[in-house]
């Protein structure tokens, strides 16, 4: 194990547990996010995972205030996490006012409203397998230093190891301990998509866009909106719910 990996592993191990962290993978990833926040002089760090069936969710954040920023990418369908996952390469935006709005026309202004001025995303991958991304947010413009960049890559590697170790301990066919809550909404979301598609006579892709738009407009997590649709507390059949 090289010196940088040893240092990052030690930082994560030394990060104190917080009430509610639990013993599963999300708790370990929360401590990793907090350690990364300190080491990278960040204003927030998040880890999101993407399942084989395409369902995605926020696994952990360094601070509760960071969760809506991370979740927003999935509600809007654009952002650094999704780009890093799709390309398998880091996404580095040291100044959100420098062309980012052309890349993420909806997410960029929303991120700006949260006070963030720079964002960096690192894919979680091993070989050709991609698991998600680690996102680093800053309230000040500026690039990561060479050392910070290498540290961020190492934190991403440790996050991959954490996810793989957790999955190795899981029951065959099940997701790692704790991640079932993160990704377990996929059945409800797919069911809600189908219901909205029938209600509006549109495609499943357009139905997901409708769900995302409603979640964003209401400032609610996408999973909660899907749950309300399935429970028939929300209906798109008469136009805007």
Long-range contacts, stretch 18-21, CB < 8 angstroms, 24+ apart: none
Strand partners, 173: none
pTM score, whole prediction: 0.75
Using the predicted structure, report yes or no on whether residue 111 has a pLDDT greater than 90. yes
Percent of the chain with pLDDT over 70: 85
Using the predicted structure, report yes or no on whether residue 116 has a pLDDT greater than 90. yes
Using the predicted structure, report yes or no on whether residue 75 has a pLDDT greater than 60. yes
Q: How confident is the model at residue 55, as a pLDDT?
A: 57
Q: How confident is the model at residue 172, as a pLDDT?
A: 44
Helix (H, G, I), strand (E, B) or coil at 211: helix
Higher-scoring residue by pLDDT: 186, 147: 147
Q: How confident is the model at residue 194, as a pLDDT?
A: 84
What are the b/e assignments for 88-115, b being 16+ CB within 10 Å? Answer: eebbbbbebeeebeeebebbbebbeeee
The DSSP H or E segment spanning 184 is none
Summarised one tens digit per residue, pLDDT across range 156-197 is: 999 988 887 765 554 444 444 545 554 445 557 777 888 888
Mean pLDDT of 212-230: 82
Q: How confident is the model at residue 33, as a pLDDT?
A: 95
Sequence-ordered list of residues with C-beta below 8 angstroms from that of 224, at least 6 positions apart, any chain: 215
Summarised one tens digit per residue, pLDDT across range 20-33 is: 666 677 888 999 99
> What does the alpha-carbon distance between residue 93 and residue 80 come to, in Å, rounded to a whole number?
9
- What is the number of alpha carbons within 13 Å of residue 93 lying toward its C-beta? 28
Segment among 112-126, 157-171, 221-235 with least mean pLDDT = 157-171
> What does the alpha-carbon distance between residue 211 and residue 237 come to, in Å, rounded to a whole number?
13
Q: Backbone phi, then psi, for 57, in 5-degree steps?
A: -165, 165
């Amino acid at each position: 194990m090289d010196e940088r990996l040893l240092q990052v592993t030690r930082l994560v191990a030394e990060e104190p547990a917080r009430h509610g962290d639990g013993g599963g993978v999300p708790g370990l990833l929360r401590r990793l996010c907090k350690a990364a926040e300190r080491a990278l002089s960040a204003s927030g760090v998040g880890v999101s995972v993407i399942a084989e069936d395409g369902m995605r969710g926020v696994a952990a954040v360094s601070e509760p205030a960071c969760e809506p920023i991370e979740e927003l990418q999935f509600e809007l369908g654009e952002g650094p996490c999704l780009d890093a996952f799709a390309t398998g390469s880091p996404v580095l935006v040291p100044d959100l006012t420098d062309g980012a709005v052309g890349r993420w026309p909806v997410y960029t202004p929303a991120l700006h409203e949260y006070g963030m001025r720079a964002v960096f995303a690192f894919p979680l991958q091993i070989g050709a397998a991609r698991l998600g991304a680690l996102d680093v947010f800053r309230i000040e413009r500026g690039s990561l230093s060479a050392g910070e960049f290498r540290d961020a890559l190492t934190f991403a590697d440790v996050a991959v190891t954490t996810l793989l170790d957790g999955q190795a301990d899981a029951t065959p066919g099940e997701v790692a301990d704790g991640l079932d809550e993160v990704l377990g909404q996929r059945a409800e979301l797919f069911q809600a998509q189908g219901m909205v598609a029938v209600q509006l006579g549109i495609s499943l892709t357009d139905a997901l866009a409708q769900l995302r738009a409603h979640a964003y407009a209401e400032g609610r997590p996408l999973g909660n909106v899907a749950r309300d649709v399935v429970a028939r507390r929300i209906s798109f059949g008469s136009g805007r719910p």
